[in-house]
């Protein structure tokens, strides 16, 4: 009878439907096998075979997972490492993933030694459109193969659900960087953009780069800005190496460095009067596709300008059908020795020591609007690169957290264990105090539902579960139990026979709402304090108690009401 | 409008208009003899009982004051507030923390070293080494790691241990900020309580109870020699949220409800409140024994101490003040 009524209750159905959504969002995979790809190292055998680094926004269960190598099954990372150890130099390796098949060839690890001998070799030079070959005397080098290069994959245990484990739980490194001087919001954006660009160039994908700031000065904070870089699965040394590498920017013409980022570029214009869609050429249509040109100016210091004049004075002007004619060599932009862009040099610049250079480029799209957006994106990227060499301020490492993956793994196992024990403990206390089993059951169900709903929300919005979040879950579930006790007591122990059951539950909610508001306002300040490192704690608690008050508590009240009517 | 009539109007407002006044529930004040001698004291001598929570509060202030005069701080600061590095090594090898400290100290004469063991259900699972060397001081960090490697006879490769470091100025500023956060939380909590009940004295009693909980918990934390980290300060925020629940329960039932005497209502609230606190204490104790994380252990310890302080402060201090106020106003 009671069961029938339970199924008729709207509030209980709301919880059931929310739970279904939560489980779908968490997407538990019971038989997860394989080694998931975290990163693909640049220029490695794996990258050459076409394996791509995953997009950090991909849900964990949608990541690419290696299932077999050379027809040997890969069930876990241990299998993967065992197979990798057996690989030989110049061996063909067949890697099967859940998304496709790749064939790669292991590459040799070489070392070049400059010998104390000289030799004559033929070198080809291009000058005035003519090719010459000269015999040149140079030091003899010897390339020795000293081993086999790693195939270039960083893997981790295939995810068992869409829950994202924070650094505390999966291991990895977090670094907090602080600009040496006060930075404007604009500069901060440049730094963030640069860091992301740089980490991308390094081929790291599981990376979070974000800014954080302290409480403003009038609230007792420092008001300082920070940059948080989080790299899962990397150790401290790797991250420190990465961050200590100065962003090296070089512009070359015919392999000769013309100017470098930093001192050579004195100014990159980003305001609308000297950057944006080129007003003279604008946009045009060709074969159904739109093209737009952008331009912006940069300023070089006189020395760089002189170098540029020398580099261009002997170049040819390439004939072209359009009005614009360019020089035979292009201006190539390198970021940390990797070419990121190539630009044509206008004929007018030949041999001129100009300090003001207009850099142009283009973008394409199906519609004119798309082409405009694409070219503006390209422009922003290029501007970022040009400024990258010259970070507006020096960054200091002020906090590092490097968490061992073994500790995290133990911790997850352990927390499931103690969570279950704690829930059993609470249920036992309830049974002893009320001497009614029937009350412990809805309380247990509500606790479990709240945990599932919280984890579902976490999966859905993609927030990382770390220790702080676990502390938040503990408070929300604990507050939940307190509230349920209030509801139970108000309905059960009401000597106030004059009031209806509904009225008594309403009175219980008066208390519950007060407690709810207090918890929320108590947690809000943490959102901003301490560079936002405790934000996860505040967020989980606030979401958790909100889920409780608005979803599970009404259902619990209905459940108690129905059970007590009997 | 007098204070009293405004209060009566508030009480009426809180009742549901559609419900009839519960008939004849207004109690006549008469002497009740309690069978339980404790109940007799709780009922008749509630004002004298107030001495207990206030003495505890004063003792707590003295303990914190002594801490301040001895060390210059209100409590022992953990490494993440002082600045330095902390290394957590997972190992089941039994390590004598004092012995290890004696070996390490001569090598780091200028630094303060603190070594603790981590355990789950009594079984040692790891050791934590805190030392106040700069996080960018690679040479000393390497020296420490290699010493530990030798002494513990472990490989200690990168990734086999957890290392966290924080600059001392950043630690200080984080600390200051979390303190500000606690202060703002406390004020915000007080504001919510005042907006909710809108009668100054009972609200002040709630706020005082929450404040006493914080002070007493801090004093106990000092006594057991725990070093408080940023997470520990965040635990005080949790404590604010947790401890106010029982006070709100008490105040609502005693102020809003009409049935029974003040004492009867208090006992009714206490049954519910104690059930809440006991479940919390049981859950926290289990988690405290079995959790592997130093941070969670600290959070749970702080809240657990707070729960015990809250029992005294809610059911003697807050109850006594509330009853005193109500009886003085003849309600």
* pLDDT recorded at residue B204: 95
Q: With respect to residue A161, please indicate whether it lies within any of the assigned structural domains.
A: no
Whichever domain contains B91, its CATH number is: 3.30.70.260
Higher-confidence residue of B316 and A388: namely: B316
* pLDDT recorded at residue B64: 96
* pLDDT recorded at residue A248: 59
Whichever domain contains A70, its CATH number is: 2.30.42.10
Number of residues assigned to chain A: 566
Q: With respect to residue B10, please indicate whether it lies within any of the assigned structural domains.
A: no
Higher-confidence residue of A491 and B281: namely: B281
Q: Are residues B211 and B301 in the same domain?
A: yes
Q: Give the nearest partner residue to A489 out of B188, B234, B271, using CB atoms.
A: B271
Count of domains for chain B: 2
Q: Are residues A414 and A295 in the same domain?
A: no
Give the closest-approach CA distance of A149 to chain B in angstroms. 21
d(CA A270, CA B234): 43
Q: Are residues B269 and B300 in the same domain?
A: yes
Question: In a mutagenesis test of the B interface, which of A77, A170, A404, A520 is the best target, namely the one with the most B β-carbons within 10 Å?
Answer: A404
Q: Are residues B248 and B285 in the same domain?
A: yes
Q: Could you read off the pLDDT of B134-144 as tens digits, one per residue? A: 888 888 888 88
Adjacent-strand bridge partners of B166: A399, B84
| Residue B20 pLDDT greater than 70, yes or no | no
Q: With respect to residue B319, please indicate whether it lies within any of the assigned structural domains.
A: yes
DSSP A170-223: H-EEEEEEEESS---HHHHHHHHHHHHHHHHHTT--SEEEEEEE---GGGTS--
Q: Are residues A239 and A259 in the same domain?
A: no
DSSP H/E element including A39: strand A35-40
Q: Could you read off the pLDDT of B157-181 as tens digits, one per residue? A: 877 888 888 888 888 888 888 888 8
d(CA A168, CA A170): 6
Q: Are residues A444 and A356 in the same domain?
A: no
* pLDDT recorded at residue B310: 96
| Residue B274 pLDDT greater than 90, yes or no | yes
Q: With respect to residue A408, please indicate whether it lies within any of the assigned structural domains.
A: yes
The dihedral of CA B255, B260, B262, B266: what is its sign? negative
* pLDDT recorded at residue A200: 63
Q: Are residues B276 and B161 in the same domain?
A: no
Determine contact: B124 vs chain A, CB below 8 A: no
Q: Are residues B195 and B268 in the same domain?
A: yes
Q: With respect to residue B240, please indicate whether it lies within any of the assigned structural domains.
A: yes
Q: With respect to residue A374, please indicate whether it lies within any of the assigned structural domains.
A: yes
Q: What is the pTM of this model?
A: 0.77
Q: With respect to residue A281, please indicate whether it lies within any of the assigned structural domains.
A: yes
| List of chain A residues with pLDDT < 70 | 1-2, 42, 111-118, 120-141, 197-206, 215-217, 219-222, 238, 241-249, 261-263, 272, 320-324, 335-338, 340, 381, 384-385, 387-394, 493-499, 530-533, 565-566
Cα–chain center distance at A413: 26
Give the closest-approach CA distance of A442 to chain B in angstroms. 15
Q: With respect to residue A167, please indicate whether it lies within any of the assigned structural domains.
A: no
Q: Are residues A201 and A242 in the same domain?
A: yes
Cα–chain center distance at A344: 34
Q: Are residues B128 and B236 in the same domain?
A: no
Question: In a mutagenesis test of the A interface, which of B182, B232, B249, B295 is the best target, namely the one with the most A β-carbons within 10 Å?
Answer: B249
Q: Are residues A470 and A561 in the same domain?
A: yes
* pLDDT recorded at residue A215: 67
Q: With respect to residue B188, please indicate whether it lies within any of the assigned structural domains.
A: yes
Give, in degrees to the nearest 5, the angle at Cα A319 between A315 and A324: 95
Q: Are residues B323 and B180 in the same domain?
A: yes
**Residue where one domain finishes, among candidates B111, B139, B166:** B166
Tokens 């604008």 -> residue: A282
Band (pLDDT 50/70/90 cuts) for residue B260 is: confident
Domain that holds residue B281: 34-75+171-328
In A, which residues are within 8 Å of B290 by CB distance? 414, 417-418, 421
Give the closest-approach CA distance of A438 to chain B in angstroms. 17
Residues 6+ apart with CB under 8 A from A524: A538, A542, B184, B185, B188
* pLDDT recorded at residue A393: 66
Count of domains for chain A: 5
d(CA A391, CA B218): 45
Q: Are residues A415 and A520 in the same domain?
A: yes
State the average pLDDT for chain B: 85
Q: Give the nearest partner residue to A529 out of B181, B186, B257, using CB atoms.
A: B181
Q: Are residues A374 and A290 in the same domain?
A: yes
Q: With respect to residue A166, please indicate whether it lies within any of the assigned structural domains.
A: no
Q: With respect to residue B211, please indicate whether it lies within any of the assigned structural domains.
A: yes
Q: Are residues A378 and A421 in the same domain?
A: no
Q: Are residues B55 and B193 in the same domain?
A: yes
* pLDDT recorded at residue B158: 76
Q: Are residues A534 and A413 in the same domain?
A: yes
Q: Are residues B244 and B292 in the same domain?
A: yes
Q: Are residues A203 and A301 in the same domain?
A: no
Q: Give the nearest partner residue to A415 out of B135, B170, B291, using CB atoms.
A: B291
Determine contact: B55 vs chain A, CB below 8 A: no
CB contact under 8 A, A478 and B283: yes
Q: Could you read off the pLDDT of B235-255 as tens digits, one per residue? A: 888 888 888 999 999 999 998
Domain that holds residue A285: 249-388
* pLDDT recorded at residue B22: 44
Q: Are residues B226 and B270 in the same domain?
A: yes
Number of residues assigned to chain B: 331
Q: With respect to residue B23, please indicate whether it lies within any of the assigned structural domains.
A: no
Band (pLDDT 50/70/90 cuts) for residue B266 is: very high
Q: With respect to residue A6, please indicate whether it lies within any of the assigned structural domains.
A: yes
**Residue where one domain finishes, among candidates B135, B166, B197:** B166
The dihedral of CA A111, A112, A115, A119: what is its sign? positive
**Residue where one domain finishes, among candidates B123, B145, B166:** B166
Adjacent-strand bridge partners of A37: A155
Whichever domain contains A231, its CATH number is: 3.30.70.3400
Whichever domain contains B238, its CATH number is: 1.20.1640.10
Q: With respect to residue B196, please indicate whether it lies within any of the assigned structural domains.
A: yes
**Residue among A27, A22, A11 nearest A453 (CA):** A22
Q: Are residues A439 and A469 in the same domain?
A: yes
**Residue among A357, A359, A355 nearest A302 (CA):** A355
* pLDDT recorded at residue B18: 42
Q: Are residues A101 and A132 in the same domain?
A: no
Q: With respect to residue A458, please indicate whether it lies within any of the assigned structural domains.
A: yes
């Amino acid at each position: 009878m009671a069961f029938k009524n339970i199924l008729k209750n709207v509030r209980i159905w709301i919880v059931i439907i929310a739970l279904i959504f939560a489980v779908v969002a968490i997407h538990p995979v019971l038989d997860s096998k394989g080694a998931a790809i975290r990163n693909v190292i640049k220029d490695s055998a794996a990258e050459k075979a076409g394996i791509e680094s995953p997009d950090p926004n991909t849900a964990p269960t949608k990541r690419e997972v290696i299932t077999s190598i050379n027809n040997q099954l890969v069930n876990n990372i241990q299998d993967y490492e065992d197979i990798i150890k057996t690989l030989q130099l110049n061996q063909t390796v067949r890697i099967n993933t859940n998304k496709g098949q790749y064939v790669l060839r292991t590459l040799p690890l070489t070392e070049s030694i400059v010998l104390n001998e000289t030799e004559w070799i033929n070198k080809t030079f291009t000058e005035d459109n003519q090719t010459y070959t000269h015999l040149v005397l140079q030091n003899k080098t010897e390339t020795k193969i000293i081993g086999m290069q790693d195939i270039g994959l960083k893997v981790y245990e295939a995810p068992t659900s869409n829950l994202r484990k924070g650094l505390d739980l999966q291991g990895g490194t977090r670094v907090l960087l602080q600009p040496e001087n006060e930075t404007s919001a604009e500069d901060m954006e440049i730094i963030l953009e640069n860091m992301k660009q740089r980490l991308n160039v390094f081929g790291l994908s599981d990376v979070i780069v974000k800014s954080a700031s302290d409480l403003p000065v009038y609230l007792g904070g420092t008001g300082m800005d920070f940059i948080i870089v989080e790299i899962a699965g990397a150790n401290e040394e790797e991250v420190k190496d990465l961050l200590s590498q100065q962003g090296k920017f070089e512009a070359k013409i015919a392999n000769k460095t013309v100017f470098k980022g930093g001192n050579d570029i004195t100014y990159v214009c980003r305001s609308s009067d000297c950057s944006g869609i080129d007003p003279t050429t604008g946009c045009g249509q060709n074969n159904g596709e739109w093209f737009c040109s952008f331009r912006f100016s940069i300023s070089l210091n006189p020395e760089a300008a002189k170098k540029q004049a020398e580099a261009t004075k002997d170049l040819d002007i390439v004939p072209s059908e359009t009005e614009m004619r360019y020089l035979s060599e292009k201006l190539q932009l390198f970021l940390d020795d990797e070419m990121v862009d190539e630009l044509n040099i206008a004929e007018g610049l030949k041999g001129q020591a100009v300090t003001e250079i207009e850099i142009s480029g283009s973008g394409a799209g199906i519609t004119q609007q798309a082409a405009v957006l694409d070219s503006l994106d390209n422009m922003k990227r290029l501007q970022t690169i040009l400024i990258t060499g010259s970070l507006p301020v020096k960054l200091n490492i002020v906090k590092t957290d490097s968490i061992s993956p073994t500790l995290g793994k133990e911790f997850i196992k352990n927390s499931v264990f103690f969570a279950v024990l704690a829930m059993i403990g609470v249920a036992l206390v309830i049974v002893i105090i009320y001497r009614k089993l029937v009350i412990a059951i809805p309380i247990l169900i509500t606790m479990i539902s709240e945990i599932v709903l919280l984890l579902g929300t976490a999966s859905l919005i993609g927030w990382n579960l770390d220790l702080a979040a676990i502390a938040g879950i503990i408070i929300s579930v604990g507050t939940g139990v307190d509230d349920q006790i209030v509801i139970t007591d108000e309905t059960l122990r009401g000597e106030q026979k004059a009031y209806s059951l509904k009225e008594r539950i309403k009175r219980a909610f008066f208390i519950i709402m007060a407690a709810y508001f207090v918890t929320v306002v108590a947690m809000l300040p943490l959102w901003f304090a301490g560079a936002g490192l405790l934000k996860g704690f505040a967020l989980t608690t606030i979401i958790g108690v909100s889920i409780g008050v608005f979803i599970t508590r009404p259902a619990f009240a209905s459940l108690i009401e129905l059970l007590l009517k009997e | 409008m007098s204070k009293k009539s405004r209060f009566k109007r508030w009480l009426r407002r809180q009742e549901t208009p559609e419900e009839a006044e519960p008939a004849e529930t207004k109690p006549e004040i008469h002497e009740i003899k309690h069978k339980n001698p404790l109940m007799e004291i709780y009922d008749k001598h509630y004002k004298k009982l107030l001495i207990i929570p206030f003495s505890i509060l004063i003792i707590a202030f003295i303990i914190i004051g002594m801490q301040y005069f001895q060390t210059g701080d209100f409590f022992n600061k953990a490494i993440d507030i002082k600045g330095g590095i902390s290394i957590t090594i997972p190992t089941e090898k039994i390590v004598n923390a004092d012995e290890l400290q004696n070996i390490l100290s001569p090598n780091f004469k200028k630094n303060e070293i603190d070594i603790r063991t981590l355990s789950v259900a009594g079984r040692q699972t790891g050791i934590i080494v805190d030392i106040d060397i700069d996080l960018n001081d690679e040479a000393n960090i390497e020296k420490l790691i290699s010493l530990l490697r030798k002494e513990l006879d472990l490989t200690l490769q990168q990734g086999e241990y957890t290392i966290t470091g924080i600059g001392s100025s950043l630690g200080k500023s984080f600390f200051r900020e979390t303190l500000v956060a606690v202060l703002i939380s406390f004020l915000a909590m007080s504001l919510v309580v005042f907006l909710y009940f809108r009668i100054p004295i009972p609200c002040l009693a709630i706020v005082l109870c929450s404040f006493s909980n914080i002070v007493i918990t801090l004093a106990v934390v000092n006594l057991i020699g725990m070093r408080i980290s940023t997470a520990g300060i965040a635990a005080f925020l949790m404590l604010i949220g947790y401890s106010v629940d029982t006070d709100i329960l008490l105040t609502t039932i005693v102020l809003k409800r009409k049935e029974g005497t003040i004492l009867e209502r208090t006992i009714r609230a206490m049954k519910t409140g104690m059930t809440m606190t006991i479940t919390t204490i049981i859950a926290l104790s289990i988690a405290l024994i079995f959790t592997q994380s130093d941070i969670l252990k600290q959070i749970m310890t702080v809240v657990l101490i707070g729960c015990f302080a809250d029992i005294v402060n809610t059911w003697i201090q807050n109850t006594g003040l509330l009853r005193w106020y109500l009886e003085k106003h003849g309600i």
